[in-house]
Chains A and B, each alone.
Chain A
Amino acid sequence: EPEVTQTPSHQVTQMGQEVILRCVPISNHLYFYWYRQILGQKVEFLVSFYNNEISEKSEIFDDQFSVERPDGSNFTLKIRSTKLEDSAMYFCASSEAGTGSSYNSPLHFGNGTRLTVT
């Protein structure tokens, strides 16, 4: 079964540094997402991406964050000038259609990247 793959599985960075989290969505999927889970807290929506542009973003997703689909297979999340509170598990996901569509397309998640900011 096709999978969403994320690299690296663990990333340690110093406060103020930039990090890029990488994801390869399922090949025939059109919608891409980033979610994060701070330890002990809920899984939170960050951003959705469709047709090479952001379709929706949360209040968390400020100017510090950006997403990009640099080629036909990768989907990246860049975090500039990382802060201690950015430490979390970051999940990439993809789906065939929008989650609220009549097709009721579920998201397929990767195993996550655990980001630790020191």
Chain B
Amino acid sequence: AQSVTQLDSHVSVSEGTPVLLRCNYSSSYSPSLFWYVQHPNKGLQLLLKYTSAATLVKGINGFEAEFKKSETSFHLTKPSAHMSDAAEYFCVVTRGYNKLIFGAGTRLAVHP
């Protein structure tokens, strides 16, 4: 069955430093993977999606993620954190045709 594990519940970085949010997936077939972000009192916004066309996926706001089949990972990165990046981030895998399975989320804090 498809599932995702987000390895860190909280990540704290300083503004201007790199961000790494880790996600491992489990899937019996080639998965569809996404990262969503949730700012306080807001809905879930799509950051990026893995389409199998390229292993390095670029998303909005300078984020990108690399699909590594050998490591079953889909880590989210950003070279330089901004204060506005503070939010909760969800790694998501599809199960079947119509269902998303969410990870537990990683709360990113960005300090001045």
Contact = CB atoms under 8 A, between A and B. Distances in A.
A48 B43 contact: no
Given A91-B44, A104-B32, A106-B34, A56 B96 contact: yes
Given A42-B105, A43-B90, A100-B32, A108 B99 contact: no
Contacts of A101: 97
A4 B90 contact: no
Contacts of B34: 106
A99 B99 contact: yes
A73 to B, nearest CB: 18
Contacts of B105: 42-43
A100 B97 contact: yes
B101 to A, nearest CB: 7
A75 interface: no
Interface residues of A, number: 28
Interface string B39-73: 00111111001111000000000000000000000
A112 B98 contact: no
A30 to B, nearest CB: 11
A78 to B, nearest CB: 20
A55 B51 CA distance: 23
Contact of A107 (B95, B100, B104): B100
B98 A98 contact: yes
Interface in A49-100: 50, 55-56, 58, 91, 93, 98-100
Interface in B79-112: 90, 94-105
Given A42-B102, A107-B100, A100 B94 contact: yes
Contacts of B32: 99-100, 104
13 contacts: A42-B102, A42-B105, A55-B98, A56-B96, A56-B99, A91-B44, A100-B98, A104-B49, A104-B52, A107-B46, A107-B100, A109-B45, A112-B43
Interface of B: 32, 34, 36, 41-46, 49-52, 90, 94-105
